[in-house]
Amino acid sequence: MKSIKVGLLGIGTVGSGTFNVLKRNQQEIAARAGRGIEITMVADLNTERAKELTNNEVEVVSDANLVVNNPDIDIVIELIGGYGIAKDLVLKAIANGKHVVTANKALIATHGNEIFKAAQEKNVMVAFEAAVAGGIPIIKALREGLTANSIEWIAGIINGTTNFILSEMRDKGLDFDIVLKEAQRLGYAEADPTFDIEGVDAAHKLTIMASIAFGIPVQFDKAHVEGITKLQATDIRYAEQLGYRIKLLGITKRTDAGIELRVHPTLIPASRLIANVEGAMNAVLVRGDAVGETLYYGKGAGAEPTASAVIADLVDITRLATADPEHRVPHLAFQPDAMADTKILPMAEITTSYYLRMHVTDQAGVLADVTRILADSSISIDAMLQKEPADGETQTDIIMLTHKTQEKNVETAIAKIENLATVVGKVTKIRLEELN
Ligand code: HSE
C-alpha cells in the first residue's frame, strides 16, 4: 500500500522532533501502522530553517494554506500553537477532508467542541495526544485503556515549568521570583512564562482530560485557574514540616453535585508517589471505580517526547483511516450523542481540605477566637502548628490543616479571622488533597 502523506504546519522544536523520529524509526512505525507514514510538505515562515531541518528532503512553503489545500496530503499536523491562524487552518484542513493531529492544548480546550463537530461532519479524525502531558499517553489511557471504568477523579502535575520552579523553591528554600529567573536562564521557563506560571497551560490540559473522563464538552471558561506566583517559600517550608509537599495540581472530580475543574497550588502528603515527581517531569494520577488508582509519569514537553505522542496519533489515524467512521474511537471518548451536560461546580461549592496560615499577636485567647470561628463554620481542624515567636518578637505564625469542607465555609471563616484585632494581615489559604 502506498504511504500516507502528511503535511506539517510549523517546524519548531516539536516539528523537527517529529520529522527526525519518523525518519529514524520509519520501518518500525510502518510495520505497526500497516503502511508508511511520510511527511511530504512543511509550511513554516522561516523556509530556510525548515529546509535545513528537513535536509531538503521535502517541499517547504511559507504559506500553510498550500498544505491544507493540497489534495495529495492525507493528514495535517498543526504545530503552530495559539487559536488564531491555527484554528483557521485546522478548520480548513477538516473542510478539505483531511485528518488533523495537533499538540495545541489552547485550541482544543477552547474551540474543541466546534472542531470535533466539523470533523464529525466530514468523517475525519482530530487527534491531540501531544496536547496533554507531552509524551505521556494519557489521552489514550483515559479514552481506551480505562474505558471500562467510571472515572472518579484525576489529579495531575501537568506543567513542567511550574513543577521545576516548585522543586527548586523547596530544595533551595528560595522565593518564586528568584527561581523563575533561574528557570528562564536555564531554558525551563519561556521568556513570557505567563501561561505556565498562572496555571493557564495546566487548565487547558485539565479541561481536555475532564471532557474525556466525564463525557462533557470542553469548557475551559468554567475552570478555576490559579498559578504559583503568590506562593511563598514559607508555606512550602511549613507544609514540609507537616509532612506535605506543595504542587501545582490540575484536579477534576465527579461529585453528586457536579464536576470540579480546578488548577491551584495544592498540599499533598509527601509519602504519595506523585508528591515526589520533581523538576520538569509530569505525572497524572487517575482513579477509576474498577481499576483504583493508576499513575502515568514522564516528560511533558520537549522535542522527541512530544513527537512520540504526535506520531502515535499519526499511526492511529493511519490504521483507522479506512475504518467505518462509526467504529472509530470518539474524539472525547463518549459518542457525540451521548455527551452529558453535568454542571461544572463554582469554586464556592467544591469540597476539599485546607492549609491556613495566619500571623497573630502571641497573646491569650487568640487560638480560642480562631477555633471558635472555624467551629461556627463547621470546619474541623486536622492538625496545627504554632511557632514560638522569634527573639524579641511578639507575633508568630499559626498554621492549621482542616478536614474536608466546602470552600464557601472556609471563605466565611477567613473573612471573620482577618477581622480579629489579634490577626495581622491576610490569612494564606492553600487547598489540600490527601489523594486517597
Ligand atoms: N509549557 C509546558 C510545560 C509544556 O511547562 O509543561 C507545553 O505544554
Query: Is there a binding annotation on residue 300?
Result: no
In whole angstroms, give the CA distance from residue 38 to residue 49: 20
Catalytic annotation, pick one of 205, 247, 253, 429: 205
**Residue 323 pLDDT > 80, yes or no?**
no
Ligand 1: does its nearest atom lie under 6 Å from the Cβ of 300? yes
Which atom of ligand 1 is least distant from the CA of 160?
Answer: 6
Predicted confidence (pLDDT) at residue 367 exceeds the cutoff of 90: yes
Q: Is 199 in the pocket of ligand 1 (CB under 6 A)?
A: no
Nearest-angstrom CA–CA distance, 307 and 135: 7
Residue 98 among the catalytic residues = no
The terminus-to-terminus CA distance of the chain in angstroms comes to 50
Task: Using a pLDDT cut of 70, give the percent of the chain over it.
Answer: 100
Helical H segments across 72-134, by residue range = 85-95, 105-121
Query: Ligand 1 centroid vs 182 CA: distance in angstroms?
Result: 17
pLDDT tens, residue by residue, 100-141:
999 999 999 999 999 999 999 999 999 999 999 999 999 999
Contact between 141 and 184 under an 8 Å Cβ cutoff? The reply is no
Question: At 354, is the secondary structure helix, strand, or coil?
Answer: strand
* Average pLDDT in the chain: 96
Q: Please tell me whether 14 is known to bind a ligand.
A: yes
**What's 142's DSSP letter?**
I
Check the annotation: does 226 bind a ligand: no
Q: Quick one: pLDDT at residue 317?
A: 97
Distance CA 58, CA 133 (A): 29
Any bridge partners for residue 120, and if so which? Answer: none
Domains and CATH numbers, the chain: 4-135+303-338 (3.40.50.720), 138-299 (3.30.360.10), 349-432 (3.30.70.260)
Please indicate whether residue 407, judged by its CB atom, sits closer than 6 Å to ligand 1: no
From the list 136, 115, 134, the residue with the least C-alpha distance to 124 is 115
161 Cβ inside 6 Å of ligand 1 = yes
Mind listing the pLDDT tens digit for each residue in 269-301? 999 999 999 999 999 999 999 999 999 999 999
